[in-house]
Structures are given as C-alpha cells and as structure tokens.
C-alpha cells in the first residue's frame, strides 16, 4: 500500500495575514508553508502525519506532493526528517490561480511515478485533535470492505456543515449513501463531516482521470466534488469510518481560524489525560414480569441507589487491569482460608468482566468503523452489590466499564445508542463469559430509573431490541429488599425452563405470555398510583414463577423469605435470579416488625431508595 501526503495548496489568505500581522507574534512564521506551521504541542502539522504513516509494515512508499512555490521548504523538511527527497513531487504551480486542484495533484503523483497499488491519501496540512489514533486500524477496516474508504468525524458545536463535505452513512453496512460538498445549512440532518483522509483501491484509480476530464476548472477539482460524483452519480461503493476526534484543514482560512482551532485542540490534548474517569452503575430490582425478558416477555425494573458498582479509568503507559483485593484474591492466609473463600465466593471475580468488556469494545469499534486512539489505561473497580443474590452486580460492573471506555475514547450516544448498548453488555456476559442472562438488567442499567420493557418477538426480530420506556418515579410507594447472607442454594433458578420454552411446551409458553400481561397491568397500576393493585400483581408474579420453576428449583432460602414476608401481609416476589426478595408493604408499622423478623432470620433487610437519573424523586411513605 502507498501513502500520499498532499501539501500543494496555496494558503494565500493565511500567509498574507501572517506577513501583515502587526502584533509581532507571528513574524517568524512569515513565508512558512501551511503544513510546516506549528501544530498541537508545538510539533509541525506535517511532522505529526509523517510520524503516523512512517512505517514499512503499513506502507511500501510515502510520497509528498507540493507546489513549485514551496518546494524548497519541503525539500529541506524532507532532508531533516529522514523523508526520501526523491519522493517529494513538484506540481509546478506557483499561485492560487494557477493551482492544479487536489484531485489533479493526486493523479499527477500516480501517473508520473507509475503507481499501481492501493492508495491512502491524507492532507498534510490538516490539524488533528487526536495525536494518537491508530492508522493500522483504519487500514484493517478498509481491507475488510469491498470499496473505497472515507474518514469522517462528528462536527463539534459551532462548526457549520456548509464548510465541510457532509456524509450520510448506513449504520448497518457503513456504506456512505450520500455525499454533499458544503451543503447549505439545514439541507442535511447529518453532522458527519468527511476529511481529506481516504483509502482508494487500485482498481478505482482510473476514475481520477475520468473525473478530471469532466472538471476542467481547478476550483472544481476538489475531493469533495470527486466523492460527490463517485458516490451520488457513479454509485461506487464507498464506506465510512469514524475517527472520534476533530479535524481542521488549514486551507483558505484566516489567521484567527488557525489560532482558534490550534488553541482549542491543544487545550483538549492537555486536559484529556489529567483527570481519572469514574463511572457508577446501580443495582436493580425487577418489579414485574421477570424472568420473561429472556422469553420475549415484558418486564418493569428499577435501579436502586442502595448498592452500586464503580469503575475508574486513568490513562497509563501500558494497559493494566487491577484485581479487586476482596473479589479477585491472589493471597490467602492459609489453605483453609483459600478453601473457605473459594467455597463461598467461587472463582469468578470482577477482573474477567473488565477484560471481556475491553475485548468486546475493541471488537465492536473495529466492526462499526470507529478508529480508536493508541492510548492505554489502567482500570480498577469496586462494588458493594451483594454477590449471587440476583441484583445485577455483574452487569453493573460491565456497564460502568463500558461508560468509562466510551468517555475515554470519545464514543458518543450516536455511535453506541442505548438499545444497542444494552445488547452489547448482554453479549459481553453471554458470548464472552457464558453467563446465563436476559436483557432486562442491561436495559434498566443503561436507561436508569424505572423502566418498562417490551421484548416481544416481532420487535426483537425487526429492530434487534425491544421497546423501552422510562416511567415517572414521582411519589413511588416504599419498596423493601431482603437477601440471604449465604445464598448458596439460590443459583439454580433458571433450571430447564429455557429448553422447555424452546421446545414449545404449552405451560411455559403460556406462562411467559401471562408474565407480559401482568407487566402491562402493573404499568397501569404504577401510572394510576394504585399501590394495592400493584402489590397483588407482585404476588401473582411470584406464584406464576413458582408454578413454572417449582419449589425445588427456587430453593428453600428464597421460599423461606417469601413465606416470612407473607406473614406480615406484604406483597413479595424475586427481584432477580434468586437469593433476594423485593416487597411492597403499605402498613408502615408491620414493615418495621417485618424488618426485625428478617434480621432475626439471618437476612439483610433494607428499605429501597430508588435511583432516578434526573436527580429528583419523591417516595410516598404514607400510602
């Protein structure tokens, strides 16, 4: 593969303003070509791009095409930077009016040097906000696609689409479906801007001369016009890859624009590694419909602020995953100590969750055409979510890790929308770690708050996810939670029900439909603040679950907690896979008595504090 750096533009406006600047701040830059102006961190703009592409493992040759007016500058630069001087190509132009045009410059290099290979084209006078992106990832993505590749980024606030080539990209295939060069504001909804960074197949190179024949004027020989013609008219397959960073081409810009963007990107670069990124994700309770989320049912769940997981990411020289001192023990007091801890806690801590999330994140970004930076980091986690009691502790760690990675690599909600994010988290656990799980926990932890979820088959088949609706959390009744200190008998909750459902067993199929019906009724009760009706539905949910899964599967610990709650007239059900119960007791005096009885029975008991992402919540403790 061959790389061509384009620096043949005539920066007449910028050069004139530098020459005439009366402040004295830019006198040393008079006559300096655009690409040799200071970039981020004081490094010349072209130095950054040369360092990026200067590897024989990726490119057999690198060429630089410039104009006759600035040729000597780049010849000197090449000598000083170990760039082959013979690969500096002079296009012969000396003025803006006499320029060839960017596409003609590219065609000149290919024709004069008789190049017959795939080509990477980059504007060497382009400011890039991210000084660490991985160009090897770009080339891998290009080779995986049956067409050309155009790099794009998401416009920052304040940037106008009328100053860029704007693309529309199919989210499934990543093919660019439309390209408009500098469209008037409002013509395109897309905020995805193409930059002069392209990968072109050897077989497509003849289209360059065809385009030049159609465009005799230099001002029309821009790459924007070329891609408009190739994509919109010729219908060639051109794919898009996103770099989660910003770009500014130092073309016909003013001195104020150059200094503004240089200062902006430099400030971003200085701030990015300083502060650690810490993200929190909260435990959840399934209030209705679970476990039908794995069976095309419907559920309602709620995040609670009583328990949470937190993950912290800080930039580092190498990528490090730190084990948790309690959950990932590597030192023990004795063999007996190891035996006791392993017997109670098992062998699977949170470290595997961090590793699996990182692996899946890289895989996702590569597949989705998102080029990540070559920055490394250190990850650590902590959690107070009780283990093995069905409160979504594992998915909370995965979700918090994903939030950290998205912030660190500047991945936006449009890159990874919430419904897809929930699927991603589930896939980390099911595909990578073979954890039996459904979508409910991941959805409610992504959306946060009180969430109604419809996993109907037609929705899952048509759009790949369900319908998820955040519900009003104002004036909720007082829910309570109790869980076992030793949940050793609570891990068999899923039993063989899935296989029975897949086999079409009538009892199981009808039960899952009934769970969905209960959920719709519970939604109505929540909206109407009919707490007595909600409590009755919670009891119905448990009894339906009991009839399908049987007492032997539920386990004696879970059944004991349910029976204890019923003695005090409280509604009760399982909030997850087992090991805990969630309830609704409208009699405050009996709630106090019930707490004591649970504690005397060796259980942990607490009043639930709902977590509302909006920060405003009112819990009605009088109903």
Catalytic residues: 441
DSSP letters of 179-236? EEESPPTTS----EEEEEEEEE-GGGTHHHHHHHHH--SGGG-SHHHHHIIIIIIS--
Q: How far is the C-alpha of 241 from the C-alpha of 229, rounded, in Å?
A: 19
**Partners of residue 166 on adjacent β-strands:** 180, 193
Q: How far is the C-alpha of 253 from the C-alpha of 303, rounded, in Å?
A: 50
Q: How far is the C-alpha of 53 from the C-alpha of 42, rounded, in Å?
A: 19
List of residues 6+ apart from 315 with CB closer than 8 A: 272, 273, 375, 376, 377, 378, 408
Q: How far is the C-alpha of 2 from the C-alpha of 121, rounded, in Å?
A: 9
Contact 59, 115 (CB under 8 A): no
Name the residue among 278, 228, 286, 588 with its Cα closest to residue 437: 286
List of residues 6+ apart from 479 with CB closer than 8 A: 285, 287, 302, 582, 583, 584, 607, 608, 610
Largest CA distance in the chain: 93
Lookup result for tokens 């012969």: 92
Q: How far is the C-alpha of 474 from the C-alpha of 327, rounded, in Å?
A: 36
Q: How many CB atoms sit inside 10 A of residue 422's CB?
A: 25
Output the CA angle 454-456-457, nearest 5 degrees.
Answer: 150
Q: How far is the C-alpha of 463 from the C-alpha of 171, rounded, in Å?
A: 13
C-alpha dihedral sign at 5, 8, 9, 12: positive
603: exposed, middle or buried (Cβ count in 10 Å: 0-12, 13-18, 19+):
buried
List of residues 6+ apart from 176 with CB closer than 8 A: 150, 167, 168, 169, 170, 227, 231, 238, 239, 240
């Amino acid at each position: 593969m061959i790389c061509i750096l384009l620096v043949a533009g005539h920066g007449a406006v910028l050069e004139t303003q530098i020459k005439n600047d009366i402040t004295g701040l830019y006198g040393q830059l008079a006559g300096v070509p655009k690409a040799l102006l200071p970039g981020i961190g004081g490094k010349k703009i072209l130095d950054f791009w040369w360092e990026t592409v200067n590897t024989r493992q990726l490119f057999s040759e690198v060429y630089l095409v410039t104009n006759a007016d600035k040729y000597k500058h780049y010849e000197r630069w090449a000598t000083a930077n170990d760039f082959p001087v013979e690969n500096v190509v002079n296009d012969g132009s000396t003025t803006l009016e006499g320029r060839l045009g960017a596409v003609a410059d590219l065609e000149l290099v290919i024709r004069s040097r008789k190049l017959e290979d795939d080509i990477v084209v980059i504007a060497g006078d382009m400011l890039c906000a991210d000084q660490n992106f991985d160009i090897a990832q770009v080339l891998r993505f290009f080779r995986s696609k049956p067409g050309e590749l155009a790099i794009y980024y998401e416009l920052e606030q304040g940037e106008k689409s009328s100053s860029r080539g704007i693309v529309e990209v199919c989210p499934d295939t990543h093919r660019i479906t439309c390209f408009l060069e500098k469209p008037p504001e409002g013509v395109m909804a897309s905020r995805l801007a193409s930059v002069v960074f392209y990968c072109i197949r050897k077989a497509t190179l003849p289209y360059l001369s065809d385009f030049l024949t159609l465009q005799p004027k230099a001002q029309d020989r821009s790459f924007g016009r070329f891609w408009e013609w190739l994509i919109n008219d010729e219908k060639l397959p051109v794919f898009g890859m996103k770099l989660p960073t910003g770009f500014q081409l130092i073309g016909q810009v003013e001195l104020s624009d150059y200094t503004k963007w240089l200062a902006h990107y430099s400030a971003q670069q200085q701030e990015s590694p300083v502060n650690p990124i810490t993200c929190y994700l909260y435990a959840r309770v399934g209030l209705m419909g679970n476990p039908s989320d794995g069976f095309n049912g419907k559920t309602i769940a709620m995040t609670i602020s009583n328990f949470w997981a937190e993950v912290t990411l800080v930039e580092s020289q190498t990528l490090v995953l730190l084990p948790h001192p309690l959950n990932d023990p590597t030192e023990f007091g004795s063999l007996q100590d190891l035996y006791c801890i392993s017997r109670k806690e098992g062998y699977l801590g949170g470290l595997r969750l961090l590793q699996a999330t990182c692996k899946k994140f890289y895989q996702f970004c590569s597949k989705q055409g998102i080029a990540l930076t070559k920055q490394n980091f250190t990850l650590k986690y902590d959690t107070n979510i009780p283990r093995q009691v069905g409160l979504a502790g594992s998915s909370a760690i995965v979700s918090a890790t994903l939030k950290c990675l998205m912030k660190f690599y500047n991945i936006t909600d449009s890159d990874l929308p919430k419904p897809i994010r929930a699927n991603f988290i589930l896939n980390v656990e099911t595909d990578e770690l073979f954890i039996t799980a459904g979508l409910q926990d991941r959805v409610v932890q992504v959306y946060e708050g009180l969430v109604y979820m419809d996993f109907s088959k037609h929705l899952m088949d048509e759009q790949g996810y369900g319908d998820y609706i955040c519900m009003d959390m104002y004036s909720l009744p007082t829910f309570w939670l109790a869980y076992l200190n030793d949940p050793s008998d609570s891990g068999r909750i899923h039993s063989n029900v899935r296989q029975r459902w897949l086999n079409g067993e009538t009892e199981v199929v009808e039960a899952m439909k009934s769970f969905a019906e209960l959920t719709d009724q519970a939604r109505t009760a929540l909206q109407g603040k009919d707490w007595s009706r909600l409590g009755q539905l919670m009891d119905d949910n448990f009894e339906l679950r009991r009839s399908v899964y049987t007492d032997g599967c539920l386990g004696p610990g879970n059944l004991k907690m349910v029976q204890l709650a019923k003695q005090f007239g409280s509604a009760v059900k399982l909030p997850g896979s087992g090991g805990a119960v969630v309830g609704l007791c409208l009699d405050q005096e009996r709630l106090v008595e019930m707490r004591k009885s649970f504690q005397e029975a060796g259980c942990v008991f607490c009043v639930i504090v709902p977590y509302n992402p909006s920060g405003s919540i009112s819990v009605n403790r009088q109903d």
